[in-house]
Amino acid sequence: MAGKRRAGRRPGHQPTRELILAAAREAFARRGYDATSVREIAAAADVDPALVHHYFGTKEKLFLETVSIPFDPRQYIHLVVEGPREELAERLLTTALGVWDSPSGLAAGALLRGSLTHQTGSELLREFLLKRALEPLCGAIEPDPVLAKWRMNLVATQLMGLAMMRYVLAMEPLASASPEQIVDAIGPNLQRYLTGDLHGA
């Protein structure tokens, strides 16, 4: 994965592209997917709307790009998978919290909220969680494909619920808890979903 090159991306164009992405991320986070137009994003980035379409295609693709930046999970999967199997959940939680709590993850709560306000947003979020984050992860640690799907769904319930409570609803004590406290409290549960006995599932 490290050797994979992204095509069609000359270095000189990076700043404009990043400018549009930053404007889009802020707009989607503040007003939600549905209420944000490509025209507004272009205005905020001080570029022509045609340039937004040139770089990103549709609004949907632009949105997917903005949610994939703060959490782009593919680069983190090896951080989670490599190491002792019984510490998988600890590594997954530490990695997820590291991204979510970082400056680039600050918009995570707002984006999560925004992506739920519209059917398209929900579908994108589901696709993102399935195809880009949890499917590769669970596929890497569970050889049985049926069980891997169950594990993926269960891991998703726990991580989604954690993100909702800590960032969107900001419920205490979870919102102010340290990553170590969260690993202590939630780690063993997540570990069961990743590698434990799921009974009938």
Contacts with a copy of itself by CB under 8 A lie at 32, 113, 116-117, 122, 125-126, 129-130, 149-150, 153-154, 156-162, 164-165, 168-174, 180-181, 184-186, 188-189, 192-193, 198-201
- In angstroms, the CA 136 to CA 109 distance is 23
**Least distance in Å: CB of 153 to a copy of itself?**
4
**Smallest distance, a copy of itself to C-beta of residue 6, A:** 28
Calpha distance 197→165 (Å, rounded): 26
Of 81 and 182, the one with the shorter C-beta distance to a copy of itself is: 182
Measured from the CB atom, the residue of 140 and 185 that comes closer to a copy of itself is 185
CA–CA distance, 105 with 98 (Å, rounded to integer): 8
First to last CA, the chain: 32
Q: How far is the CB of 27 from a copy of itself (least distance, A)?
A: 16
Give 41 or 159: the residue with its C-beta nearer to a copy of itself: 159
Amino acid at 118: H
For a copy of itself, which is the closer residue by CB, 43 or 150?
150
Q: Where are the alpha helices (DSSP H) in 85-178?
A: 88-101, 108-115, 119-127, 135-141, 145-163
Q: Of the two residues 49 and 196, which places its CB atom closer to a copy of itself in the complex? A: 196
- Min CB(163)–a copy of itself separation in Å: 9
| CA distances for 54 relative to 40, 96, 193, angstroms | 16, 32, 42
